Amino acid sequence: ITKNETKMKIGYVQNNPLFGQKEKNFEEIMQLTKGIKADVLVLSELFATGYTFTSKSEAKALAETADGETAQFLKQLSVETGATIVAGFIEKENEMVYNSSIIIDGNTVIDTYQKIHLFNRETLWFDVSNNPLKVYDIKGIKLGVMICFDWFFPEVCRELTLQGMQLLAHPSNLVLPYCQKAMVTRCLENRIFAITANRIGNEKRGDDDFTFTGASQITAPNG
Ligand code: ACM
């Protein structure tokens, strides 16, 4: 990060979640991050549950509050790696169900971001949030968060940049081949760094048959 000459070690975890098996997915993340120390680590969208639901009630059954078991696991991961963690989960808030990311530092839950632009059939599984986009002061820099398909709308990165964002955390479950290329433009036009943490694998459930494109990417302001 050059704007204020901060040096950071940043990374992502690219996983292949087993649908609905949180404990096994937590274990995989622990194995993938064994011995890793970093300042910021980004995990994929819905990293512990899988992505492809067949109904809202199915998503709701795997949803948690911001102090649920996924948050507890991520606190442990944050303490062990030293990293601020941004990771996707299904958030239950009152009667609403959101495709969210949680931002955790040590044993503190800093906030959640509820995905604004739901992709395809996600509109059947999740509620849309009206919460504002925000940036967070993390380790001397300003961190912004968006989720997967938010990339398609340049206004998201722009709005976060206008709030001072230097580093974007971007948990993803990408199924189209365009985002990794688009992030080069997002970073060039906004002069930001971005961590796109994608998943791999296939989910064939209900009417959907998704193959996730992997190729997670850290993109610099020079593209
Ligand atoms: C997506 O937003 N998960 C494609």
In angstroms, rounded to a whole number, what is the distance separating the alpha carbons of residues 15 and 145? 19
Tens digit of each residue's pLDDT (9 = 90 or more) over 56-91: 999 999 999 999 999 999 999 999 999 999 999 999
Q: How far apart are CA 153 and CA 150, in angstroms?
A: 6
Q: Ligand 1, closest atom to CA 148?
A: 2
Tell how far the Cα of 126 is from the centroid of ligand 1, in angstroms.
12
Residue found by looking up tokens 């120390």 in the block: 37
C-alpha 73/C-alpha 12 separation (Å) is 17
Backbone angles phi, psi at 215, to 5 degrees: 50, 45
Nearest ligand 1 atom to the CA of 149 is 2
By most ligand atoms within 8 Å of CB, the mutation choice from 115, 175, 216 for ligand 1 is 175
Testing ligand 1's pocket by substitution, the residue of 99, 125, 148 carrying the most ligand atoms inside 8 A of its CB is: 148
Other C-beta atoms within 10 Å of 8: how many? 17
Please tell me the distance between residue 221's alpha carbon and the centre of ligand 1 in angstroms.
Answer: 23
Is 45 assigned a catalytic role?
A: yes
Distance of CA 31 to the CA centre of its chain: 19
What pLDDT is stored for residue 4 in this prediction? 58
Q: Quick one: pLDDT at residue 41?
A: 98
Q: How far is the CA of 116 from the centre of ligand 1 (A)?
A: 11
Which atom of ligand 1 is nearest to 51's Cα?
3
Q: Catalytic residue at 60?
A: no
Calpha distance 65→88 (Å, rounded): 13
Per annotation, catalytic residue among 45, 64, 91, 203: 45
User: Of the residues 22, 75, 92, 115, which is catalytic?
Assistant: 115
Q: Is 187 designated active site?
A: no
Q: Pocket residues for ligand 1 (CB within 6 Å)?
A: 45, 119, 148-149, 173-175
* pLDDT, tens only, 152-208: 999 999 999 999 999 999 999 999 999 999 999 999 999 999 999 999 999 999 999
Contacts of 55 (CB under 8 A, 6+ apart): 124, 125
pTM above 0.85, yes or no: yes
Q: Is the dihedral of CA 129, 147, 58, 47 positive or negative?
A: negative
